[in-house]
Structure 1
Amino acid sequence: MSEGVEWVLHTCVNLSWVGRPVRSARLATFYDLPPAYLNKQLQSLVRAGVLTSVSGPKGGFTLARDPASISLLDVVTAIEGTDPAFRCAGILAAGPWGDKEADYAATCVISTAMRKAELAWRKELARQTIADVCASVERRAPGEPERTRRWLS
C-alpha cells in the first residue's frame, strides 16, 4: 500500500473533527507532507465521493458523507484502486507437470489462499469506519479533536 493511504486516513479523521472545509496546504502542513502529493490523493477521494472540494476563500476539502458511512475500504480503494493485491501469473503451467490449459488462478492452492486472505482483509476494512477510528482516538486521547480543530482553524 502506498503511504498516501496513511496520509488520507489521518486527514479524513482530522476533517471529521473540524467539520468545515480546510485547504490542502494546511492539511499537508499538519503532518509535514508534500502539499502537491497530498492534494493529488485528496482529489482521488473527491472522485470517489469520500470528500468534497469547496472553492473560494473559505474553501478546501471536507467530508462528503457522515464519518460513520465512510469505511476504511472506501478510502483505501479510492487511493489504491480495486485490483486484487495478489495476481496469480499461473507459473504452475510452466512447471514440469504443468498444464497450459489449466486455470491456475482458480485451482492453485496458493492463489486460493491469497484470495481468501485478501477477502478477509477487505471485509475488515469495510467493517470499520472513519467514525470508528475517531472514537478509538478519542478514547485514547480525549483532547485530540479539540486540539486538531484549533490547529487547523
Structure 2
Amino acid sequence: MGSGQGAPPGRTTRRSSRRIKRLAGGQTLQSRRTLLSQTAEYALRAAAWIAAYSPEAPIRARDLSRATGIPAQYLSKILRRLVVARILRSQRGQGGGFVLARPPAEISFLEVLSAVEASPEEGRCAFGWGMCRPDAPCPLHHAWTPFGEAFRQWAATTTLAAARGVEPSVCEDRRREADSWLGDAPVPEPGRDA
C-alpha cells in the first residue's frame, strides 16, 4: 500500500512523500499546503491565540502549545522568531511567558508571516512542487499569481485584532475537525517547509 492505491476509505497512506487521506468514494485530501507553510500557519495560530485570549497576561509556551495544538519544541522556535521580530515580548521568571509587544491592531498578519518566512506566499507552488518562479513556472503559476498578490494585500491589512472575540471552544472544535480531515501528517521543522 506504499503507493497509496487501494487504501480503504478513512485510511491514511504515504505516496510521493505526501500524506493522503482516502475518503469515501475514492476521493483524496492531501495535507500538503500550498499557500502557507506549516511554520507560517503555526505562527499565525500562536499569535492570534495570544491576541484573542491573553494579549496582556503572559502565557507560558507549554500552555500555549496545549491550547493551540502546536508541538511544544516547534512552538518554542516560532516564539523565538516572533520575539526577535518584536511581535512578542518574553518575560522570564515566575508568572512569565509571552505577551504581545504592541496592541493587536498594530500587528498585521503579514508581519507575523514575514517573521517566520523570508517571503510568506511568494513562490509557493499551487501544485505543491516547492518553489515556483516566472522563469520556472508550474502549470498554474500564471493563474495563481493574482491570488498570491491578493493574499499578500489581505495579510498586510488584516491585524491580530481580527482574532478577538472568538470563543476558545470554537477554535478547538475547528482544529479537531481539520485534523480529522488532514490526518496525522508529519510536522516539518521550522525553516524546512517544502
| Fold match by TM threshold 0.5 | yes
Which residue is 1:56 aligned to? 93
CA-CA distance at 1:10 after TM superposition: 2.5
Contact 2:123–2:133, Cα closer than 8 Å, also in 1: no
CA-CA distance at 1:71 after TM superposition: 0.8
**SS of equivalent to 2:90:** strand
Q: TM-score, normalised by structure 1?
A: 0.67
Which residue is 2:48 aligned to? 13
**SS of equivalent to 1:56:** coil
Note the residue ranges of structure 1 that are not aligned, 5 or more in a row.
93-109, 146-153
CA gap 1:32/1:132 in 2 versus in 1, 3 angstroms? closer
**SS of equivalent to 1:120:** helix
CA-CA distance at 1:114 after TM superposition: 4.9
Which residue is 1:124 aligned to? 154
Which residue is 2:38 aligned to? 3
CA gap 1:120/1:62 in 2 versus in 1, 3 angstroms? same
Which residue is 1:85 aligned to? 123
- For residues 7-57 of structure 1, the C-alpha deviation after alignment (integer angstroms, 9 at most, x for no partner) is 232222332222211111111122343211100011111111111111112
In the alignment of these two chains, the number of paired residues is 123
More helix by share: 1
**SS of equivalent to 2:59:** coil
**SS of equivalent to 1:124:** helix
RCO higher in 1 or 2 (8 Å CA, sep ≥ 6)?
1
Which residue is 1:67 aligned to? 104
Q: Distance in 1 between matches of 2:136 and 2:59?
A: 49
Tell me the C-alpha RMSD between the 2 structures: 2.7
The residue type paired with residue 129 of structure 1 is T
**Given the alignment of the two structures, is residue 36 of structure 1 paired with residue 73 of structure 2, yes or no?**
yes
Note the residue ranges of structure 2 that are not aligned, 5 or more in a row.
1-35, 125-131, 170-194
CA gap 1:111/1:9 in 2 versus in 1, 3 angstroms? closer
The residue type paired with residue 80 of structure 1 is E
Deviates more, 1:124-133 or 1:76-85: 76-85
**SS of equivalent to 2:162:** helix
More strand by share: 2
Identity rate, percent: 31
Q: Distance in 1 between matches of 2:74 and 2:149?
A: 29
